[in-house]
Structure 1
Amino acid sequence: YDDPESEIQKLMKRYEEEDQEVSRLFKKVVELCVDGFRETLSKIGVDFDVWDWESNVVRESWVLKILEKARQTPYFTIYKGAEAIDFSEFYKDPDLVKLFNLPKAFKIPPMILRRSDGTTLYTTRDVAYSLKKFREYNADKVINVIAAEQRLEQLQVRLSLYALGYKREAMNLIHYAYEMVNMPGVKMSGRRGRYITLDSLLEEAIARAREEIRKRRTGLSKEEEDEISKAIGVGALRYALVSVEADKPLVFDWDKVLDFEKSSAPYLQYTYVRALNILRKLGEEIRQDKIDYQASKEPLRRKLLITTAKYTYILEKAAAELKPELLVDYITSLADIFNTWYPKDPVIKEANEGARYYKASLVYAIKATIEHVLGILGIPLLEKM
């Protein structure tokens, strides 16, 4: 085609008009993509409860309702020959400027609802889809996990909901913005087709994990080696992706991602195995009635106890603030304290029964905390490494 963009717009128009041939073609292509997404995501233990078709937002009249409602508001305008919502009125109200944290350096441009050819923009469909999520799931909050480069569009969606009278929805629609993942020495570009797939990244993570395991362990069967390498590879990727604030770029460094000695998934997995082994070697049930709680006075034991006790607070804070990195920082810190403590203060060789039971209960609490956090983060647990 001489003008591919024009041809795409024609197809989009026919699609929104429910042309059967175009709809069948679109669905076939999208299903191929979604099948690929499912296959890749399943490798790292990710699954979605529901896959929504954007076409349903149009065909179930959600978009039509948005357009009709917009035309009845004072924010409706014609912008560059297209129907749009104008946000200039928001800047006249200091409370709204503060509420939406509107930028002062520039004015939010009007959001086009429908082009002159009758097709809608994805932001229009996003307004409709956000409303659909609130209504169909009776949601108190809706969190859209979308790249940081869409900040302007997501702000327009929120402002549009407010302008249309959906004030509760506008205030409870959250854009969880994430920055890009960068690889040292690699210049990625979506437009130029330069990218690294998750599949290839996972394959390399597993291969590197296997190499490290072979240095550290001998006598593993192929099945054991495969299981451990995959668990470490998957864990390494998942830890890395949530180890920094979402709105900060992530530089993917293999030496850090697969560091068995500090701040990584393999480090946490290894710490879990250490705690598990201590409890196995203890070879006896922890007698609660025999625990000597005076043993908690030793500084490192006390530090471990206090840090472990903070877990529910950190978990609630991470959830409320949408900051999984707080959970990562916390559990890594707990592992650091544990790995400093246990070689200096042996559990199994402790002669005093009450102190031994106290230290064993501390190890159990740490093991349970690591197990719970890794479960939340989707990092596989291992029983040996």
Structure 2
Amino acid sequence: MFRRLEEGDPAVRTLWSQLVEISLQEMFGIFDRLGGVTLDYPKDGEAFYQPYLGEVIAEAKEQGVARQSDGALIIEVPGEETPLLLLKSNGTTTYATRDLAQVRYRAQTFHPAKILYCVANEQALHFRQYHAAARRLGFVPDSLELVHVKFGLMRGAEGKLSTRRGTSIFLQDVMDEAVRRAREVVEAKNPELSDREKTEIAEVVGIGALKYFDLSHDRRHDIVFDWDRMLSLKGDSAPYLQYSYVRAVQILAKVGTVNFPLDKWKGESGRFGVGLPEDVQRLVRELARFPLVLERAAADYTPHTIAQYLNDLAGQFSQFYECYPVLKAEGEDRAIRLAIVAGVANVLRRGLDLLGIKVLERM
């Protein structure tokens, strides 16, 4: 079937086109619900590179990089025990062939400085081999950085979720269940809200909980699926951070807009929060650390760095909230505490937005 597709069989191409359209409709429906997902790429995906596969194979042969082996066409990769397969013995192409065509096209067309491939750990060998082959073939310049941003698998309590075992969890079903469970939490905490408000809040909280649960883990490690942790209001979850934000903005709503003059609290030593109680100094310095956290997360491709920072910040803010009355304070104490609350709200909102998680004005 795949060979007939590559050869352009009209019946197979028609069936393939129909399946692609159905798949895209389903995927874009999910993307719309997740929010923050914008795609701008050739609609045909891998098939877009079909016309270039012959050129890739021809160049690999002409340069002497590829050789025949048991009827197949392979590329030996230094340091790897297994070769990279370009053509199967039946003449059909492989992921490697299409990936080589893809990176060649992108390098020639877009001239990027860096290409990131966000694909599971299990494909590490494939990316090492094909990136090495792309460089041997001269498809990418030395200045172009190819990065495999590896991530682990989502596992159930008993191990890997697998379609062959019949234990797969479909994302649409997971989103529905997350929203249903979030609705139960909203019902329990705020029964006085209208049905429409409960529905809107549950959608934001449920989808946010899913995103945070994924992104708060080190991407390189597997994740054990856990509903209780995902929707916990006690810490390290989107609902916890969203609730912390609500706490902050509800205080600010009673006084209006407040600026956060960080520089005012920067002493000659360069340390933020000089003159404030030690625990408040730590909170102010934690707020000031936000740009550095973003730099590290971007450099290492580790969104969990942002998630962990926000969780720590929310924990410190909770202690501040309990120990230092804000609205009942007077004079400079009131002004400083309001500024800290405004800073926390601002950083939580911006940090969660970077993780694709919405905030609420009430929960």
Match of 1:160 among 111, 133, 140: 133
1:4 corresponding residue in structure 2: none
Question: Is contact 2:118-2:150 (8 Å) kept?
Answer: yes
Tell me which of 10, 19, 37 is aligned to 2:27: 37
Letter in 2 for 1:133: R
2:237 matches 1:264: yes
SS at the partner of 2:336? Answer: helix
Give the equivalent residue in structure 2 for 1:348: 327
- Pairing partner for 2:101 from 93, 109, 128: 128
Listed as ranges, the gaps of 5+ residues in structure 2 are: 266-272
Q: 2:295 aligns with which of 316, 320, 330?
A: 316
Q: 1:199 to 1:330 in 2, by over 3 A?
A: same
Paired with 1:312 and 1:340, the residues of 2 have a C-alpha distance of 23
- Report whether the alignment pairs 1:369 with 2:347: yes
CA–CA distance in 1 between the matches of 2:335 and 2:142? 53
**What are the Cα deviations for residues 177-214 of structure 1, in whole angstroms up to 9, with x where unaligned?**
22111122576323344311111111111111111112
8 Å Cα contact 1:331-1:370 kept in structure 2: yes
Per-residue CA deviation, residues 295-314 of structure 1 (Å, 9 max, x unaligned), is: 85211221111001111111
| Correspondence list, 1:128-277, <5 A | 128-166=101-139, 168=141, 172-185=145-158, 188-277=161-250
Shift in CA distance, 142/275, structure 1 to aligned 2, threshold 3 Å: same
User: Take 2:194 and 2:205, find their aligned partners in 1: how far apart are those partners?
Assistant: 16
Distance change >3 Å, CA 284–CA 128, structure 1 → 2: closer
Instruction: Find the partner of 2:335 among 357, 363, 378.
Output: 357
- Conserved in 1, the CA contact under 8 Å of 2:258 and 2:339? yes
Q: Deviations over 1:306-327 (max 9, x none)?
A: 0011111110110111000100
**What CA distance in whole angstroms lies between the structure 1 residues aligned with 2:38 and 2:108?**
20
Q: Residue 303 of structure 1 aligns to which amino acid in structure 2?
A: R
- Where does structure 1 lack aligned partners over 5 or more consecutive residues? 1-10, 92-106
Q: Which moved more, 1:42-51 or 1:161-170?
A: 161-170
2-structure distance, mates of 1:251, 1:324: 18
Q: Report the alpha carbon displacement of residue 250 of structure 1 after superposing the two structures with TM.
A: 0.4
8 A Cα contact 1:85 1:160, kept in partner: yes
1:58 aligns to 2:31 (yes or no)? no
SS of the residue corresponding to residue 157 of structure 2 reads coil
TM-score, normalised via structure 1 length: 0.86
Task: Name the CA distance, whole Å, in 1 between partners of 2:284 and 2:104.
Answer: 46
Displacement of 1:108? 3.2
Q: What is the aligned residue count?
A: 353
Question: How many Å separate the matches in 2 of 1:274 and 1:146?
Answer: 38
Question: Helix, strand or coil: the match of 2:47?
Answer: helix
Identity of aligned residues (%): 29
Given that 1:287 and 1:357 are in contact with CA atoms closer than 8 Å, whether structure 2 keeps it comes out as no
- The reply on whether 1:28 has 2:14 as its aligned counterpart is no
Counting only pairs closer than 5 Å after superposition, residues 72-91 of structure 1 correspond to structure 2 as 72-87=62-77, 90-91=78-79
| CA displacement at 1:362 relative to structure 2 | 1.2
Structure 1 residues 327 and 151: CA distance shift in structure 2, 3 A: same
- Give me the CA root mean square deviation: 2.2
Displacement after TM superposition at 1:266 (Å): 0.2
Counterpart contact for 2:30–2:172, Cα < 8 Å:
yes
> 1:67·1:113 contact (CA, 8 Å) conserved in 2?
yes
Match of 2:57 in 1: 67
Cα separation, 1, equivalents of 2:4 and 2:222: 39
SS in 1 for 2:96: helix
Native 8 Å contact 1:76 1:85 kept in 2: yes
